[in-house]
Chain A
Amino acid sequence: MTELQSKILDVIAETLMIDTDDLSHDAAMGVVPEWTSFAHLSLMAAIEEAFGIELSMDEMSKATSLETLTATVHAKVG
């Protein structure tokens, strides 16, 4: 797991108030019970704050899994 992905996992766990152990590589909205569509909005705000980036509506609506979220953040922070 990359450093970026592990940091993202931390933010997800913090926001959803669960343990990082509860999150696997296929973690996604709907797969993790706490990752609801409302929680997703808070998660997006937390990601923006943690990485100092701004996400567009389109990015927010697509970054609903650990994989896509990592790719989105990676593209922004380089």
Chain B
Amino acid sequence: MDIREQIKLASGLLKSGAAAQALETILPVLGSEPQNTRASLVAAECQLVLGNKSGALIVLAAAGNAAPTTSTMSAIARLLTKSGGDPSIRAAVIGHGTLEPLADHLCVAAAAVGIHASVKAGEYDQWARELMDPSADIWQHQPQVVFLTLDTATLLAKLVDDAVLGVDAMLAYIDDAILILKQMLTAAAAAHPGVQLVVHGFGHCANVMPVVGGDSENHPANRLAIANQRFRNTLSKDVPGVVVLDQAGIEASVGTSNIRDERLYFLAGIRFTDALMRTMAEYQASILMALLGKTRKCLVLDCDHTLWGGVVGEDGILGVHVGGSSNPGNAFAAFQKGIKRLQSRGVILAVLSKNNEQDALDVFQKHPGMLLRETDIAAHRINWNDKASNLTELARELNIGTDSMVFLDDNPMERALMRQVHPEVLTPELPADPSAYAAFLAGLRVFETLQLTGEDVNRTKSYAENQQRASLEKAAAGDYNAYLHSLGIRVQCIASQPGSLSRITQLINKTNQFNATTRRVTDAEVAEMHDSPEWIVIETHVADRFGDSGLTGIALCEVSGSTLRIDNVLLSCRVLGRGVETTLMACIIKAALAHGCTSITGLYIPSAKNAPIADYFDKVGFTASEQPDASKHYTATTAALSTVTSPAWISLTSSWQA
């Protein structure tokens, strides 16, 4: 049968309600024409009807990738709105010009990272009114995140149009414009607490003749950079929680001659080409990932042909190619440099390789061209077992979920196996050519955390220290108590400090296992709780003889009359199993007493991952009442909890005084 006829048949079956049959009909078409947009859309709709949303998102992302045009993007967005059910996140895109195509691109970029986003486009040029008017349409959409994109030539017209503007006048002009934006964003943040605001910085202007000579500071090439620097500094300092995207950098990455199609601009007010919108949307999607706590934490690396050229078992320890100035060693060195950059941002590195363990470790230790050394690797599995089970073990050893891992391997068979056994692990197609590895890694935007905090940077170190703790634990297996005493654990439970707020948001949004409700928050919500007299936000710092784990525990409590309500309580998995959770509860009780409370309530909402906290409240003496939705409400009087004390092996260096 002709392919067109077959698509028609499948779409007819789908319309008559036979989705499973329709899917069977359309899959062979996709097999022979994987780039066929219509077939992809029909297949995705079948999967949505059959309840397989993640499968549908993969097909839709592939369709968007194959034909990244405005019409494909809008067809995908329409399909998700029609058949996708509840979205995982709601967003709005506002700004100058026509924004529907950008909203559709965001929908597809989100699908590519497994997120169903419902995106509302603001009206043409209406961003200022939309920001200030709570009755504007975009707020009816109840967005959790709002992206604002502004036209430099409109907002900073003089920078572009006035060639003889003096330096002082230029700076004053820029600061005036930024001040107005700052005031509007501050007002919008206050009017819509909990909404994450994201602003694209100033982009390049189209159709401006470059100036070759001329003075330095006031040179047109300098003006945009100065405006962006002042914009970013002012906003990040004065409007907490606002994220600024590097629009000029995004534009440079697609080429400043590909920023807009003049015909579409003058015909329809579309300010960006599809290529540019695609990259902008990828940046936006990485913010959605961070907000949903879907950021990846760990990079799992194969060795032969991935970290170095050649096969260590055949070519010998010094015979593999890495480092030096000739190819392919230089390409592998550049890739390792990229990996080290990620490590310095807090990404954990693990190695997963089919090799004799000592051979591979020798390369890390002895090869002069290696940038990665054994101390950079938080955990490894180098043996001949299958990689899928090895990866499960790595996750257990590192105490992280497999869904926070990214697996890089040059071997398509290994990638296919991993995708089949662990679909939750991100296993991207590594380019076939090692010279493309470094660029590929830089484009892998799945590690985004909205703010880089001190704890991120120490994380790898801290994980390595955990490995040492684990060995000590094995040695003292007979006497766990003695082991705990030997750790010299020091805990600090204090009221939230202004400098900790972004770390607090980050921890709440990234913690999955020991997290009573898994409710996510925005910077603005945390700031509000921090400021409110009714709320007690407790931050917990943990250190021991092996190192400082930093801010790794949080309790959010609200005092109402004589009751203290624990809104949420959580600990990073890095500090679990050492009694810190009991110390934190003891501090909550002390805080309750200090505020004159006589009873405490708690809440547990079960998730796929938070079993470790399931019996937390029961253990210390709360009474549970199970709700129809499987959550549990807990209550206890402070008198009943008076026996809860911090374990003897923990020294509490500062806490509430009752």
A-side residues, CB < 8 A to B, are: 14-17, 19, 37-39, 41-43, 45-46, 55-57, 60-61
What's the Cα separation between A39 and B38 when bound, in Å?
15
In Å, the complex CA distance between A69 and B70 comes to 20
Known: A17-B37, A17-B38. A41 touches B75 (CB 8 A): no
How far, in angstroms, from A39 to B266 measured CA to CA in the complex?
Answer: 16
- B66 smallest CB distance to A (angstroms): 13
Q: Is the pair B268, A56 in contact by a Cβ cutoff of 8 Å?
A: no
> In the complex the two chains form, is B264's CB within 8 Å of A41's CB?
yes
| In the complex, B203 has a CB within 8 A of chain A | no
7 pairs, A vs B, C-beta closer than 8 Å: A14-B38, A38-B70, A38-B101, A39-B74, A41-B267, A56-B263, A60-B267
CB pair A17–B75 under 8 Å, yes or no, is yes
B368 to chain A, nearest CB (A): 51
Q: Does B41 contact A (CB under 8 A)?
A: yes
In the bound complex, residues from chain B placing their C-beta under 8 Å from that of A55 are: 263
Give Cα distance in the complex from A17 to B101, angstroms: 17
Expressed in whole angstroms, the Cα–Cα distance for A62 and B267 within the complex equals: 11
Looking at chain B's contact residues, the main secondary structure is helix
Which A residue's beta carbon lies closest to that of B69?
A42
Q: A19-B8, A38-B71 are in contact. Are A57 and B266 (CB under 8 A)?
A: yes
Q: A41-B70, A45-B69, A61-B267 are in contact. List 20 more A-B contacts (CB 8 A).
A: A15-B69, A15-B71, A17-B37, A17-B38, A17-B41, A19-B4, A37-B268, A38-B100, A38-B101, A38-B268, A39-B74, A41-B264, A41-B267, A41-B270, A42-B71, A42-B72, A56-B263, A57-B262, A60-B263, A60-B267
Grouping DSSP codes into helix (H, G, I), strand (E, B) and loop, the A interface class, with mixed when no group exceeds half, is: helix
Report the separation of the CA atoms of residues A45 and B74 in the bound assembly, to the nearest whole angstrom.
15
In the complex, are the beta carbons of B268 and A16 less than 8 A apart? no
Q: Are A39 and B267 in contact (CB under 8 A)?
A: no
Q: How many Å from the CB of A56 to the closest CB on chain B?
A: 7
Contact string against A for B residues 265-276, beta-carbon threshold 8 Å, 1 for contact and 0 otherwise: 011101000000
Our count of residue pairs bridging A and B at CB distance below 8 angstroms stands at: 43
B75 surroundings in chain A (CB, below 8 A): 17
Query: Which residues of B approach A to under 8 Å, CB–CB?
Result: 4, 8, 37-38, 41, 69-72, 74-75, 100-101, 262-264, 266-268, 270
Across the two chains, which residue of chain B brings its CB closest to A15? B71
Q: Determine how close the nearest CB of chain B comes to the CB of A47; give it in whole angstroms.
A: 12
Cα A19 to Cα B100 with chains together (Å): 25
Give the residue name and chain of the B residue nearest to A10 (CB): B4
Query: Whose C-beta in chain A lies nearest to the C-beta of B100?
Result: A38
Give the CA-CA distance A59 to B69 in the complex, in Å.
Answer: 20
List the A side residues contacting B41 at CB < 8 Å.
17
Structural contact, B263 and A38, CB atoms closer than 8 A:
no
B207 → A minimal CB distance (Å):
15
List residues of chain B with CB within 8 A of the CB of A45: 69
**Top 9 A-B residue pairs of the complex, sorted by shortest distance between their CB atoms:** A42-B71, A57-B263, A42-B70, A42-B69, A39-B71, A17-B38, A15-B71, A41-B264, A57-B266
| Interchain CB contact under 8 A, B267 and A57 | yes
In angstroms, Cα B270 to Cα A43, docked, is 15
B contact residues around A56 at 8 Å (CB): 263
Provide the bound-state CA to CA distance between A56 and B267, in Å. 10
In angstroms, Cα B264 to Cα A19, docked, is 26
Q: Which residues of A contact B268 (CB under 8 A)?
A: 37-38, 41
Residue in B closest to A49 when the chains form the complex, CB atoms: B69
**Closest CB-CB distance, A25 to chain B, in whole Å?**
20
What distance in Å separates the Cβ of A32 from its nearest Cβ neighbour in chain B? 13
What is the distance, in angstroms, from B574's C-beta to the closest C-beta of chain A?
Answer: 48
Shortest beta-carbon distance from B232 to chain A in Å: 32
C-alpha spacing A38/B69, complex, angstroms: 11
- For B8, B37, B72, B268, the residue with the greatest tally of chain A CB atoms inside 10 Å of its CB is B268
Q: Which residues on the B side are within 8 Å of A16 (C-beta)? A: 71
Contacts of A15 in B (CB 8 A): 69, 71
Q: Are B8 and A38 in contact (CB under 8 A)?
A: no
Bound Cα distance A39, B37 (Å): 15
B267 near A38: Cβ-Cβ < 8 Å: no
**Residues of the A chain whose Cβ atoms lie less than 8 Å from the Cβ of B69:** 15, 42, 45-46
Closest to B71 in A: A42
What residues of chain B lie closer than 8 Å to A38, measured between beta carbons? 70-71, 74, 100-101, 268
Q: Tell me, in angstroms, the Cα distance from A55 to B267 when the chains sit together.
A: 12
A60: chain B residues at CB < 8 Å are 263, 267
Measured in the bound complex, the distance between the Cα atoms of B70 and A39 in whole Å is 7
- CB neighbours (8 Å) of A37 from chain B are 268
Which residues in A have their C-beta under 8 angstroms from that of B263?
Answer: 55-57, 60
Docked complex Cα distance between A59 and B656 (Å): 74
Q: What is the minimal beta-carbon distance from A48 to any residue of chain B, in angstroms?
A: 10
B99 to chain A, nearest CB (A): 11
Closest to A19 in B: B8
Interface centre among B4, B71, B75 (most CB of A within 10 A): B71
Docked CA distance A34–B84 (Å)? 20
A59 to chain B, nearest CB (A): 9
Chain B residues with Cβ below 8 Å from A43 are: 71
A39 to B4, CA, bound (A): 21
The residues of A that contact B74 with a CB separation of less than 8 Å are 38-39
B387 → chain A, closest Cβ, in Å?
40
Q: Closest CB of chain B to A18's CB: distance in Å? A: 9
Q: Which has the most chain B C-beta neighbours within 10 Å: A42, A57, A60, A61?
A: A42
Taken together as a complex, chains A and B put the C-alpha atoms of A62 and B514 apart, in Å, by 62
Which residue on chain B has the smallest CB distance to residue A42?
A: B71
Q: Which residues of A contact B266 (CB under 8 A)?
A: 57
A57 to B41, CA, bound (A): 31
A46: which B residues are within 8 A, CB to CB?
69
Chain A residues within 8 Å of B267, by CB: 41, 57, 60-61
CA of A41 to CA of B262, assembled, Å: 12
Residue of B nearest to A45 (CB): B69
A25–B75 Cα distance when bound, in Å, is: 24
* Chain A nearest Cβ from B601, distance in angstroms: 51
Closest CB-CB distance, B484 to chain A, in whole Å?
63
The listed residue with most B CB atoms (<10 A of its CB), out of A14, A38, A46, A57, is: A38
